[in-house]
Chains A and B, each alone.
Chain A
Amino acid sequence: MPRWLFCVLIAAATWTLGCGGGNNNTMTGNNPIAGPAANVVTLTAGGSAQNPAGIVNGAFTSVTICSPGTATCATIGGLLVDTGSSGLRILSSVLPAGFSLPKQTDAGGNPIVECAQFGDGFTWGPVELADMKVSGEQASSLHIQIAGDPSFSAVPASCSNAALGPNETTVALLGANGILGVGNFLQDCGPACTVSGAGNPGLYFSCPASGCVVTAESLATQVQNPVALFTTDNNGVIVELPTVASGGAVTEAGALVFGIGTQSNNALGAATVLTLDANGNFTTMFKGTSFPGSFVDSGSNGLFFLDTPTTGLPMCPVNTDFYCPTSVQNFSATNQGTNGHTTPINFSVANADGLLSNSNPNFLLPQLAAPFPGSFDWGLPFFYGRNVFVAIEGKSTPGGTGPYTAY
């Protein structure tokens, strides 16, 4: 039904006003979307100037970065909001000409350069410092990554050998101007990268002229979750996106809210808290089987789960990486946190070749799905019409201490 009619019906059925603004919350679907506030920044999902690469099922926002302690700043839009990673990463190519930030160096003055792996490739580039400002929040002297810096073009073999895709040096390859990682962890790597030796997964490199070598990097100098460095509203985020009609939509506006239970607009309410294991995962139960290693991830642009034999969903003839049932299939699953709390989920899968055809103008495709052997990656479609809380490790919230996912 048209949105205006839906809004009229909701207004008539409840005491809540707010379809179309003029209020703090806007009712769409069943999740309130926060209005403008110091701890809120607009999320733009779908096709828009905030989606320069034109990817499907992406939500984007803007931040301002400044050389620390100065007024030399740049506002960067088109940042993919990613609850599956921690840290701000910006492509070198989208920085204004002449704009530079101080580099993180080691004790010998050599630049620290990072190889950050994602499910679709990696970003390679120096760690630099910035004051990051977004709405009324600020993270001072935040460690960020500048990706694809041409001054650091030589990628170490250990980085490319562990990659699930290309060095994402351009907007087309990355799918965005950058990534705003607002996930469950304080740093992207954490304690594993602070030690030398075989246990170090090798994300951080010291790069003298002679070549880059893996280095141990202290927690304080790793790429950090920006939210954790805010002076307030720093225990997590809420991703708020409206419901999207099953057939899809071109674009929707939502909100990225900072803090959990710190202001009047970020209470947990009736959300169920699912605590996470050390790797940031919970368990999804489906068709009588448990699949640990499951997670929600706004940076994944579909519902990725299991495989054809387990789901009965055939693969597509054209978009061969995706599921193509001949008609929409409806499923149920249950997510369970390490705390034992459970929530039921109903979801649907449509024919991806139909959804991705060039004649479909929609960028938001709730029923787009693909295999992910062994577990569930609840990507952005999971967030449509559902406020999802992401609590940061070790931070106290009214729902308990992070890390947890709640919705």
Chain B
Amino acid sequence: MQSDSVLADKFFSMSRMRLIGVALLVFALPAMAELGGSVSSIQADQEHMKGTRRVTTTAAYSVHEIQASTGTMVREFVSPSGTVFAVAWNGPSTPDLQQLLGTYFGQYTQAIQDKDKRTEQRTARGRLSIRQEGLVVEAGGHMRSFSGRAYLPQMMPQGVASGAIK
């Protein structure tokens, strides 16, 4: 991560994004938690998705974008301390969320089960929304086009709003 004289600036601006290159990494790392994991865990995601990776750096965070072989794009947002605090995706199919959400996949699965125990059937069609203190997952779409994001509110870098997670 580059430090930057405008690190103190609290507002993210698209104009500060600098492309620093395309990486094709070939060595394997053990699969570990992605969301909430370290930046080194993104390599495991890339291997899993058989994709190529592009990294974009801003003042407040970096975005590692992987294009999976299915055509789905996955973006992992890394804080200055090297933690993946958010992920987002869009494409023909939803990525492997057990891989992508890592240690948060269990919480995600439980939240879905808890939802269905409530009388949500009047309201449940077309999209997913899980909003917990420690985990937010919002996703939806239709056949051939799914999108979503997951982030850890407590790990968002200062000045980064949820609107940047896409």
Which residues from chain A sit less than 8 Å from chain B, CB to CB?
53-58, 80, 84-86, 116-120, 157-158, 161-166, 172-173, 175, 181, 183, 185, 188-190, 192, 197-202, 279-281, 293, 295, 297, 299-302, 304, 307, 309-310, 315, 319-322, 356, 363, 370-375, 377, 379
Interface contact B162-A85, CB-CB below 8 Å: no
Least distance between B69 CB and chain A CB atoms (Å): 4
Residue in B closest to A309 when the chains form the complex, CB atoms: B163
Least distance between A273 CB and chain B CB atoms (Å): 19
Contacts of A185 in B (CB 8 A): 143-144
CA distance A295 to B70 in the complex (A): 21
Interface contact A299-B97, CB-CB below 8 Å: no
Interface contact B121-A166, CB-CB below 8 Å: no
Interface contact A297-B126, CB-CB below 8 Å: yes
B9 proximal to A (CB < 8 A): no
B56 proximal to A (CB < 8 A): no
CA distance A375 to B126 in the complex (A): 14
Contacts of B148 in A (CB 8 A): 164, 373
Residue in A closest to B132 when the chains form the complex, CB atoms: A320
B36 proximal to A (CB < 8 A): no
Interface contact A161-B96, CB-CB below 8 Å: yes
Contacts A119-B127, A299-B125, A379-B126; A190 near B98 (Cβ below 8 A): no
Q: How many pairs, one residue from A and one from B, have CB atoms within 8 Å of each other in the complex?
A: 175
Interface contact A183-B124, CB-CB below 8 Å: no
Interface contact A372-B140, CB-CB below 8 Å: yes
Contacts A374-B147, A377-B140; A315 near B122 (Cβ below 8 A): no
Q: Considering the complex, which residues of chain B in the window 141-166 have a beta carbon less than 8 Å from any beta carbon of chain A?
A: 141-149, 161-163, 165-166
Interface contact B163-A162, CB-CB below 8 Å: no
Contacts of A197 in B (CB 8 A): 69
Least distance between A389 CB and chain B CB atoms (Å): 17
Interface string of B113-147 (1 = CB under 8 A from A): 10110000111111111010000001111111111
List, sorted by A's number, 21 A–B pairs whose CB atoms are closer than 8 Å: A55-B124, A56-B123, A85-B143, A116-B143, A118-B143, A119-B128, A120-B128, A158-B96, A161-B96, A165-B115, A166-B113, A175-B125, A281-B145, A293-B90, A299-B125, A309-B163, A321-B129, A363-B122, A373-B165, A374-B147, A377-B126
B83 proximal to A (CB < 8 A): no
Q: Identify B144's interface contact among A198, A202, A279, A320, CB under 8 A.
A: A279
CA distance A322 to B131 in the complex (A): 11
Contacts A119-B126, A119-B140, A373-B138; A307 near B163 (Cβ below 8 A): yes
Interface contact B96-A162, CB-CB below 8 Å: yes
Least distance between A334 CB and chain B CB atoms (Å): 20
Q: Considering the complex of A and B, which 4 residue pairs feature the smallest CB-CB distances, nearest first?
A: A300-B126, A84-B142, A119-B140, A198-B69
Q: Describe B's contact surface by its main secondary structure.
A: mixed
Contacts of A120 in B (CB 8 A): 124-128, 140
Q: Identify A307's interface contact among B69, B99, B142, B162, CB under 8 A.
A: B162
B18 proximal to A (CB < 8 A): no
Least distance between B139 CB and chain A CB atoms (Å): 5
Interface contact B94-A163, CB-CB below 8 Å: yes
B93 proximal to A (CB < 8 A): yes
CA distance A320 to B163 in the complex (A): 18
CA distance A54 to B119 in the complex (A): 10
> 20 new A-B pairs (CB below 8 Å) besides A85-B142, A119-B141, A183-B142?
A55-B121, A117-B93, A119-B140, A161-B97, A162-B95, A162-B96, A162-B97, A164-B140, A165-B128, A192-B70, A198-B70, A279-B144, A302-B126, A304-B127, A304-B140, A370-B127, A371-B129, A372-B140, A374-B90, A374-B147
